[in-house]
Every structure is written in structure tokens, then in C-alpha cells.
Amino acid sequence: MNTAQLAVFMAAVLFTLSSHALSPEAEEGKSFFATCDVCHNQSNNPALGPPMWGVQRRYRKNTNSPEEFLNKMVSFVKAPTLEAAIHDEALAQLGLMPPMALPDEFLRKIVTYILEEQFPPPCDHWKMAVNKAKEKGDMAHAQKDQRQLNRFCN
């Protein structure tokens, strides 16, 4: 094996080690995820929705099984209510999410993707949020997002 071949081989090994296999249903859901990413993309400035990284963490903490995660998220997305919302921070800043009247089968695939994906930490979003909070003089918020940056983005 020459150096170039070795490099290709190593890249393939690293890719295999780092890639994260999604179930077929999640793969399908991923192809529709743009419907949500329009607002939930962490690079949006200004933010139109909370980055999925944090949404997924909150739903994992607040549910006891993948099935409960799925049901809770699907029912929220179809008909968001203040009572059902658990993302207090996003709610306070952006208001309640508009309902997405999509067929259940379609939503379940998207949410299966959100359940399984390993989203990268939203570092661009936090950087932007720190600056915005500082501009507004909201030091508590700036410090909170700075801590997230220090913890996950170095």
C-alpha cells in the first residue's frame, strides 16, 4: 500500500468508526428534516427556533422511553400548547411554536430521526446568543450560554 492508498484506507476506517448508524425509519425522517431545520437550524441569525441539540436533550431527560419521546414530541408538534411545552428558555424568547399539521406517519419518521441523531453542539448559536444577551445587558443569560460554549465547544 502506498501513502495515498493508506490515507484513503485510514479515512475509511475513521469514517466507519465515527459514523452513527440510523435506523431505516430515521434515515427516511432525515430526508424530511428540512421542514423543521428551516427554524431549528442552529446557524440561523436571528434564531427562529431552539437548536435540536437542546430540544433532544430536554426530551430525553423528560421521558422514560424512546416510545414516550416519540409520542410526546409528535403530539407537541401537531398542536403546541404552553402546558405541554418543556423548552422554557426558547418559549420565553421566541413564543410558542406554530403547529405543523403533517400526517402522523410522516411526523413519526422525522421524530425518530430527532431521537436517534447525534446533533453537534450548537456552538454558532451560543456565540450569537452570548453577544445578543450582552447587548441587551442580560448578563445571566450571557454567562449561561458562555458556560455551554466553554463546556461543549473547545
Query: Which one of residues 90, 115, 128, 133 is an interface residue with ligand HEC (CB under 6 A)?
Result: 90
Q: Binding to ligand HEC by residue 75, rule CB under 6 A?
A: no
Contact between 149 and 126 under an 8 Å Cβ cutoff? The reply is yes
Cβ contact 50:148 at 8 Å: no
**Shortest spacing between CB 54 and ligand HEC, in angstroms:** 9
For residues 71, 73, 78, 79, the Cα torsion angle rounded to the nearest 10 degrees is 100
Between 8 and 79, whose beta carbon lies closer to ligand HEC? Answer: 79
Please state, as a whole number, how many other Cβ atoms lie within 10 Å of the Cβ of residue 69: 19
Site membership for ligand HEC, residue 44 (CB under 6 A): no
- DSSP-assigned states of every residue in 10-21: HHHHHHHHH--P
Residue 129 touches ligand HEC, criterion: CB under 6 A: no
- Pull the grid cell for residue 94: 421566541
Give the shortest CB-90-to-ligand HEC separation in angstroms: 4
Query: Interface with ligand HEC by CB under 6 A: which residues?
Result: 35-36, 38-40, 48-50, 55, 73, 76-77, 80, 85-87, 90-91, 94, 96-98, 100, 110-111
